[in-house]
Chain A
Amino acid sequence: MADLKRSQKSAPKPSFINDPKVRGLFYQFVVMAVVIAFVYVVAKNTAANLAAQNKSTGFDFFFQASGFDIFFTLIPYDRASYYWEAFVVGMLNTLLVSVIGIFLAAILGFILGIARLSNNWIIAKLAMVYVEILRNVPLLLQLFLWYTVLLKTLPGVKNSLEWFGAFVLNNRGLYIPKPMPDATFNWVIITFLIAVAGAFALKYWAKKRLEQTGNRFPVFWSSIGLLVGLPAIVWLVSGANLAFEMPTLQGFNYKGGLSLPSEFMALLLGLVLYTAAFIAEIVRSGIAAVDKGQTEAAQSLGLKDGDRLRLVIIPQAMRVIIPPLTSQFLNLTKNSSLAAAIGYPDLVSVFMLTTLNQTGRAVEIVFITMMVYLILSLVTSAFMNWYNARVAMVER
C-alpha cells in the first residue's frame, strides 16, 4: 500500500501500450517493416515482369566483349574489350572532367566572388553581369553553345592553328606535346616529391619560429627555390632525358602527342563557367558575412594585410562558404552527365546509353549508374566535411 502510494506520487507509471518508449519502438518497427516489404515487392515484381517479357537479366554481360569503340579513353580500350572496361572508361572520363572542373570552377569562382566585392565599380559590375547571365541560362543550352562555338569558330584540320610546331588547335580538339621521359628521369620526379615534402616541413618550421621568436621567414620564395632548384640539379647531374612526342598531321588528322577533343573542352568550359557563377555568389556571401569590426580589430592588432585576410577574415568566411560549396562540387559532378548530348564519352554516354542499348539490361545498368553518382557524391561530401571540420574555427 505504501509502495503504491509512493509510486503514484513520484511518476504515474503508464500502462505498457501507453509507454512512449514502447510506442516509439513500435512505430519504428512498423515503418521499417513497410519499407522492407515495399523493396521486396518491387524487386519481386521486377524479376517477374522481366521474366514475363522474356528479357535476359543479370550482370553476366560485364564479362562479354563490348563490340564498340570509344574515341577518348584513359586506359587502353577497343572493340574486343569487355563491358566492364567500357564502364571503367566512362567512369574515368566522368572523374577526369569532374575533378578538373571542380578545381577550375573553385578558382574562377573565388576570383569572381572577390571581384564582386571590389571597390572598382567596373570590375564589380562586370562580375555581377557575368554571374547573373551564366547562372540563369540552362546548362544544357550553354553546353550546346560552347560546342557549336568551338566547332564553328575554330579552323578545320587543314588550316589548324599551330604554335611553335608543338601546340595545335582545330575544331577536332587541342593537341599538345606528350612528354616521353626515359628511365633515369624517374629520379627527377622522386626528387621533386622530396622537395614537396621539404616545402611543407619548411612551412611548419617557419610557423613555429614565428610563434616563438616573432621573426618571419620568406617561406614562399624559398619553397619555390626548393621545388624548382632541387629537381633541376638532379636533372642536370643525372643526365636524364625528357623527350617530347609532337603532334603531326597524318592523313585526316593530327597524330601523336596528347589530344583533348573539342567535346571535352566544350563540356569543361560549360561546367566551369556555369558552376563558377554559383561559387562566386557563395564566396561573396561568405566574405560579406564576416563583420566589418573583425577587419578593424585585426588592423588595430597591427596584422599585415595578407595576414589579416588569411588569419582573420577567411577562416570566418570559410565557415559560411564550405557547406554550400560542397553542393556546387556535387552539382558539377552530376551535371557532367549532360556530356552525352555533345558527344563526350562519359559514364552516362558509354554505359547508360550505349551499353544499355547493346545489352538491354535497363534495370541493372540504370541502378549501377545511379550508385556510381551516389558514391561519387558521398565521397566528395565526406571529404568536404572532413575539410570543413579541419578549417572550422574553434568556437568558444
Chain B
Amino acid sequence: MKNKIVTIALSAAMGLMASTAMAGTLEDVVAKGYIQCGVTTGIPGFALPDADNNWAGLDVDYCKALASAIFNDPDAVRYTPLNSAERFAAMSSGEVDLLSRVTTWTMSRDTQLGMNFTGTMFYDGQGFMVRKSSGITSPKELSGAAVCIQTGTTTELNAADYFSANNLEYNPIVFVDRDEVVKAYEDGRCDVYTTDVSGLAANRSKFADSSEHIILNEVISKEPLAPVVRQGDDTWFNIARWTYFALVNAEELGITSANVDEMLGSDNPSVKRLLGVEGDFGAPMGLTKDWAYQIVKHVGNYGEIFERHVGVNTPLALERGVNALWTNGGLQYAPPIR
C-alpha cells in the first residue's frame, strides 16, 4: 500500500521532471527493443501471470500483437502490473508505453487526462454479484446493502449514479487493490461485489465456492474496455489502433494463426492487402509490410484470442455476445485496409 502511494507520488514528481520529449514512442520502443505494457495486477482471462511469470490473457495478447507487428516477436514485451489508481499516472510519467488493462473509454478520460483510446477490445457492462443464499434477483432489491468497489474506477461513479437514480441507499466500501475488494466480499463485509461483468466472472472463477455466487442479469452501464496511449503521438496511436483493427479484420476474413501461411496464396485482394502480399501498408506507420501477417501468425485473430482466454471453454465461460463480429450481429467492426 505504502509502495503504491509512493509510486503515485513518484509518478507525479516525474510529471514534474520528465522531459517533454514524449513524442517518439515508436523510436523509443525500437531503441530499447521491447514494449513496456501496463496491465492489471491480475484478472483471470485478461492478464494474469502463471507460476513462471508468463503473462497470459486478452489484454496481454494485445500487447503481444503489438510486439509482433513491431519486432516480429510476441515476447518483446515487458509487463508492469498497475492498479486502477496508478494507471494514468504511470502513463503520464512515461513509465509504460501503453495501457492494456480493462480501462473504460470515457469522455473525461479521453479529453482531460492527455490519453487516447485506440479501439474497444472488449464491450463490457457493469454488473452485480451476490450470494445465492441472499435470494436477491435484481439490483433494485439492494437498498441498504454494503457494496465492495475498487477505487478510481468508473464502477465507483456508475454505482453512485445507479443507486441515486433508483433512490436506493447503499454503503460503498472502497479499496485500492482488487484483491482486497474480492477478499472483503468473500469475508462477508459486503453483500454485493460490483465491477464489469467480465471481471465478476473472472473473480468468481477463483472462488472455492463459485457456485454459491450469482451474477445478476441486469447490467447498469456501458463499459467499452480499450487500450490507451498518450495523446500527442499520432504514429504510436496509429500503430496501436491498427493492430486492433488487424485482429478484427483477420477474423472477418477467416485468417487464423493456423492457416495464415496458406492464406498468403489467397486470391482475395482484402486478404492480400492485410497480409502485405499486395501493397505496403506497414511502411507509412514505420513498420514492415508483413506487420499484420506477423500479428496473426504469432497471436491469432480477435476470435482466437477471445476464445482462448475468456470464451465458453475457459473458466470465465463468456459468450461472444456483443463482442461478436458485426457480421454475426455483434459490435466488433474494423475499417477496411486499403
Contacts and interface: CB of A to CB of B under 8 A. Distances in A.
A341 B181 CA distance: 10
9 contacts: A49-B15, A49-B18, A53-B22, A79-B161, A253-B145, A338-B2, A352-B8, A353-B85, A362-B12
Interface stretch (B63-71, B168-176, B308-316): B168-176
B226 interface: no
B189 A55 contact: no
Interface string B184-198: 100111010000000
A46 B11 CA distance: 12
Given A48-B20, A148-B187, A152-B187, A363 B15 contact: yes
Interface in A323-352: 337-338, 340-343, 345, 348-349, 352
A209 interface: no
A54 B114 contact: yes
Contact of A362 (B5, B89, B143): B89
A353 B144 contact: no
B174 A349 contact: yes
Contacts of B189: 151, 171-172, 262
A342 B184 CA distance: 9
B156 interface: yes
B143 to A, nearest CB: 6
B144 A255 contact: yes
Majority SS at the chain A contact face: helix
Interface string A148-170: 10011000100000000000000
Nearest to B154: A358
Contact of A340 (B88, B142, B151): B151
A56 interface: yes
B161 A353 contact: no
Nearest to B155: A68
Nearest to B160: A79
Interface in B5-25: 5, 8-9, 11-12, 15-18, 20, 22
Contacts of B2: 140, 338
* Chain B contact residues: helix, strand, loop or mixed: mixed
Contacts of A345: 174
Find the residue from B84, B171, B180 having the highest chain A CB count within 10 A.
Answer: B171
B282 interface: no
Contacts of A111: none
A366 interface: yes
B157 interface: yes
B1 A358 contact: no
B112 A337 contact: no
Interface centre among A250, A255, A343, A345 (most CB of B within 10 A): A343
Contact of A68 (B89, B112, B157, B173): B157
A303 B163 CA distance: 67
A356 interface: yes
Contact of B144 (A70, A78, A252, A362): A252
Contact of A357 (B15, B152, B172, B187): B152
B16 A45 contact: yes
Contact of A71 (B17, B85, B112, B173): B173
A343 B160 contact: no
B337 interface: no
Given A140-B2, A262-B189, A340-B176, A252 B145 contact: yes
A51 B171 CA distance: 38
A337 to B, nearest CB: 7
A69 interface: yes
Nearest to B89: A362
A140 B144 contact: no
A255 B89 CA distance: 39
A391 interface: no
Contacts of B92: 53, 55, 362
A263 interface: yes
A161 B50 CA distance: 43
A335 to B, nearest CB: 9
A68 B85 contact: no
A20 interface: no
A79 B170 CA distance: 12
B152 A151 contact: no
User: Top 7 A-B pairs ranked by shortest CB distance?
Assistant: A357-B152, A341-B1, A53-B114, A79-B160, A71-B171, A151-B187, A55-B114
A225 interface: no
A172 to B, nearest CB: 6
Contacts of B187: 148, 151-152, 171
A343 B173 contact: yes
A358 B11 CA distance: 16
A252 to B, nearest CB: 4
